[in-house]
Structures are given as C-alpha cells and as structure tokens.
Structure 1
Amino acid sequence: MIIPHRQLDPETLQNLLEEYATRDGTDYGEREVSLEDKVASLRRQLESKHIVIWFEPGEESVNLVLAEDLPKDGEY
C-alpha cells in the first residue's frame, strides 16, 4: 500500500529517509555523498513521484520503491 509522504509527520519522514539512505547496499556511485544530500535527493524524488513510500502490511515493513515498478492494474 502506498503511503502519501505528505501524510507523515515531518520527523517520521526525515527518519525514514535517513534510514533508507544509510542502508547497506544503497549505492550512490563512485563519489561520497553526504547524508543531507542523499535525503534531499530522496525528497525530490518523492515530490516528483519518481519514488513512493510502500508499506507491506504482511511483513510490517516500509520501503521506498520506484513508482514505475508498481503494477499499473492496481494489483498491489
């Protein structure tokens, strides 16, 4: 289920973005990128609807996913 980012408390959203940006395996290329820049990039992608916040009720997990990876037929 998609969670609209504007419905989250600002502190909760900040914590979610920071946690995602610091996960193992999150690759930002060859150059070092500050946490602040990573979070800002994620915010821009949320605003542009390039990514969405996805809550998986069965697993009680939250993730950021590419909007284009969601099925178009509403099966999620």
Structure 2
Amino acid sequence: MHGRGTLQHPSGALYEGEFKDNMYHGTGTYTFPDGCTYKGHFQENRLEGEGTFTNPQGLVWTGEFHGKAALGLKMQHNVWTT
C-alpha cells in the first residue's frame, strides 16, 4: 500500500490516511474498536508527532505522541456560557 487510502480491520478498527511501504505513514485517522480516535501523524505504523486523541465520551487530548508514550498532553475543555 502506498498513497492515501482506507483500511478496515476485522476487529472493527479503521485507518484512513497515508500509507508508505504497507504501513501507516504520514497523516491519518485511526478509529479504535471501542470508538476512540487518534488524528495526527504516523510513522511506520506508530503514532508519532502532533495529534489529537478523543475517547468515546468525547474528551479530547492534544499534544506530542511517540508510540505508546504521550507525555504532556493537554485536555481540551469546552466552556459553555448561558
């Protein structure tokens, strides 16, 4: 796989984005089977660089991702005024 595309996994996970040498590489969105999403940069199938992670409840964290590590993430807060 090379270029932009979509890959649906049997688990229900979905990747939409850039591929290089059959790997997630570049920008894309990965939707986990539980509904969590990661939008950002990938390098050789790893979350790598600036990205946004959203959990099923809608809480959003942004920051630098490095594989399984994501130190210093910032949670986005919605402030509602009436």
TM-score of the aligned structures, taking structure 2 as reference length: 0.25
More helix by share: 1
Larger RCO (CA under 8 A, 6+ residues apart): 1
TM-score of the aligned structures, taking structure 1 as reference length: 0.26
More strand by share: 2
